[in-house]
Structure 1
């Protein structure tokens, strides 16, 4: 595709709007503005034009403004709500007058399209490479109400400090990474991004969703916005209303029912564990802790690989009763260890003191085995608590335990 041919024939250039769907309303919340060029009867993507480093930046900015101007006019003429998400590279933003884009957006505001309806997308790679150049400029744009999105995020976690400094409104995550061979690493990064988003008041948007499984992953992992061919392809037929390719409310309802079923199974499992442990002999004192452990082990022999008892301050008052090669052994060297530093340990103790009921932990990786486990905590008294670690094999055999 020849760059000069494109620049000389703007009448054959048209924006293609890809719908971005809200998890709250299940309706289109906005559109990402892409570009198409007509060759014969076919509308071809302008992605290679914008990614080609040899094409002058001034050409890219001029074409970008032409596309965005048409997109704004379309939404205003059809009285459609929602935002427009605009991709700009670092080179485009800092080229020449670095307020050129803002000047252009202010002209759109004069037409009636307010600045808070624009989302400026920059890539995580640009943030990494051009942070010093972009930092003040992007924060300046935000003072005018322009929203900021960091795109192509999720492949690495090295830019957390820079992303925090920019305080973007949206973090865009590539849903295709769910098919990565290193999914566990991606999920760890995703957890970090979820925590960061809550801290800075941002939302997560999942793009490149291509099937129902990726949509379910996005829904289950705090996705506020969804985007991808599975939901709706980019359309440059501006005279037609955008139609989603799936019945999103129906699709989401299946996710809700599935999640409710998993939660109900975990609740029943928790109740079952609690009722089984009520059969234990009464707590006597710390000198009899190992005896009580062995009694509990007999109730959960085929499900657990480790049991131990702690007091309310986190001090371990028993040994570890651990299964190794199908044989149970006591590990006395851990007696006296303190586990109060672990996340939620003290909170769980205090909750059990109030409710007098056992609790099932979330799924987590054990620091010794590195395998995913869940722990059931049970109040023997208001001062002593039994912990039962369920094995990885048992968890994976029961999907309601393997999925948080």
Structure 2
């Protein structure tokens, strides 16, 4: 089925009405799959216009923000929803996912339902099978009203998704405030995560934010096995895309999707297991090297110091070394190690390290066993903008030693 969005240049309601009158609207459905159960969770509904020579998407029409279009958009949405109820009713054990814009939802009175839900309700379609996908718009400014509408939808049995997360100007703080059942990230952010580590880490953090808010991550736009694997690595619970099925006129069974999902999950386990094994091997090798490290510590000019000769041979794996007291205040200079030797930078003396991502992690991991080493998670150092991991241990009852390792050297782990 070929689609054409040739109406993008229309500006007025009359132009849109003229364009719509040239054909007939109908819904198409694309499956959303559960990675946990390897089953079809639901089908997302999209509007199409049959123009005899081609088929056009109604996406641009529904996303147009001109207020003069509101009535026409509601009428077309109502008609599509009636068709959806007719086509979708025979489908068992699957959710129906319908799209709405927050600007449309917040324009409703407290007693009004979105036209889509109203049409489904009139057709006696059970609303507890509906997921309302709210597509976030740039500059949206009325979260309180949207929260009220979403709570009403929940009271009617609907689930709610927030879409376009990670797109330009989208507001991530809406996730814990609105508490959606699902979040859908933008295609742009997902595809950028392949090329840029920082975008990938942003998506990983978005997945953790979803989990902490009780939401499930849904990644759409999956077109290849590689993209499916990336979605798994990022924590997706649900996936959708042309890799499984293009949108079709009727919700149809998918003959091979379970095989694709099982293969992806098996590869996911294998990749994660190998990564863990390599990481554990690296950590053990590092700890063995750290066993042989010993320093002669002394105080001078109120600072904790060591002999630079004790650092010979450490530049191959340690980037920076420094000390703090138990309250996190740095009590030494930064010993910067390189192939050319050691330089001492005193600019961070007195800085409080308790605000760094590894300080309380160290306190937690070494509680009750002060003689060992702790190792931080990967983080981005605010000064060098490099990825780091930090080893730390108590060297005296009142002092903590920190060893920073450049994680970029071990990125494949």
TM-score higher than 0.5 here? yes
Q: Report the alpha carbon displacement of residue 269 of structure 1 after superposing the two structures with TM.
A: 1.1
- Residue number in structure 2 paired with 1:215: 228
Following the alignment from structure 2 to structure 1, what is the Cα–Cα distance between the partners of residues 294 and 29?
67
| Aligned match of 1:149 | 161
Distance in 2, matches of 1:156 and 1:9, equals 33
* 1:166 aligned residue (178, 200, 203): 178
Cα deviation per residue 1:212-231 (whole Å; 9 max; x = unaligned)?
44333322222222122233
Asked whether the equivalents of residues 102 and 136 of structure 2 are also in contact (C-alpha less than 8 Å), the reply is no
Contact 1:294 1:321 in 2 (8 A): no
Equivalent residue, structure 2, for 1:22 = 34
Give me the whole-angstrom Cα distance separating, in 2, the residues matched to 1:336 and 1:57.
60
Question: Match for residue 377 of structure 1?
Answer: 392
Structure 1 residues 50 and 336, CA gap change in structure 2 (3 angstroms): closer
User: Which range moved further: 377-386 or 359-368?
Assistant: 377-386
* C-alpha distance in 1 between matches for 2:170 and 2:56: 35
TM-score normalized with structure 1 length:
0.80
Distance 1:220 1:168 in 2: 22
Please state whether the residue corresponding to 2:254 is helix, strand or coil: coil
In structure 1, the residue matched to 2:254 is 242
Extract unaligned runs of 5+ from structure 2.
1-6, 8-15
**2: CA distance, partners of 1:292 / 1:16:** 72
Q: CA deviation at 1:247?
A: 0.5
1:104 equivalent among 99, 119, 126? 119
| Alpha-carbon spacing, 1:126–1:71, altered in 2? closer, same or farther (3 Å) | farther
Q: Residue 82 of structure 2 aligns with which residue?
A: 69
Q: Which of these residues, 272, 293, 296, is aligned with residue 280 of structure 1? A: 293
Mapped to 2, the partners of 1:175 and 1:100 lie a distance apart of 26
Moved more, 281-290 or 374-383: 281-290
Structure 2 Cα separation of the partners of residues 52 and 335 of structure 1:
56
Shift of 1:173: 0.3
Q: CA RMSD in A?
A: 3.6
Superposition map of 1:166-245 within 5 A: 166-180=178-192, 183=196, 186-187=199-200, 190=203, 193-238=206-251, 240-243=252-255
Correspondence for 2:316 among 302, 310, 320: 302
Instruction: Measure how far apart 1:103 and its partner are.
Output: 3.2
CA deviation after TM superposition for structure 1 residue 322, in Å: 0.7
Q: Could you say which residue in structure 1 is the equivalent of 2:337? A: 323
Separation of aligned partners in 1, 2:394 and 2:23? 75
CA contact (8 A) 2:361 2:376 kept: no
Question: Retained in 1: the 8 A contact 2:330–2:350?
Answer: yes
Which consecutive residues of structure 1, in runs of 5 or more, have no partner in the other structure? none
Give the Å deviation of 1:148. 1.8
Deviations for 1:150-202, whole angstroms, at most 9, x for unmatched residues?
21120246634445433322221023324449946645654664454344322
Task: Return the match for 1:36 from 45, 48, 52.
Answer: 48
| 8 A Cα contact 1:177 1:183, kept in partner | no
Q: Tell me by how many angstroms 1:311 deviates.
A: 4.4
Contact 1:283-1:380 at 8 Å conserved across structures: no
Question: What are the equivalent positions in structure 2 for 1:60-139 lying under 5 Å apart?
Answer: 60-79=73-92, 81-90=93-102, 92-93=104-105, 94=107, 98-99=112-113, 101=115, 102-108=117-123, 110-111=124-125, 113=126, 115-125=127-137, 128-129=140-141, 131=143, 134-139=146-151
Structure 2 counterpart of 1:387: 402
Q: Are the counterparts in 2 of residues 232 and 243 from structure 1 also a CA contact under 8 Å?
A: no
Q: CA deviation at 1:396?
A: 3.0
Find the counterpart in structure 2 of residue 361 from structure 1: 376
Q: CA deviation at 1:382?
A: 6.6
Partner Cα separation in structure 1 for residue 224 and residue 262 of structure 2? 16
Q: Aligned match of 1:339 in 319, 340, 353?
A: 353
May I ask how many residue pairs the two structures share in their alignment? 390
Taking structure 1 as reference, are residues 30 and 251 closer, same or farther at Cα in structure 2, changes over 3 Å only? same
TM-score (norm 2): 0.79
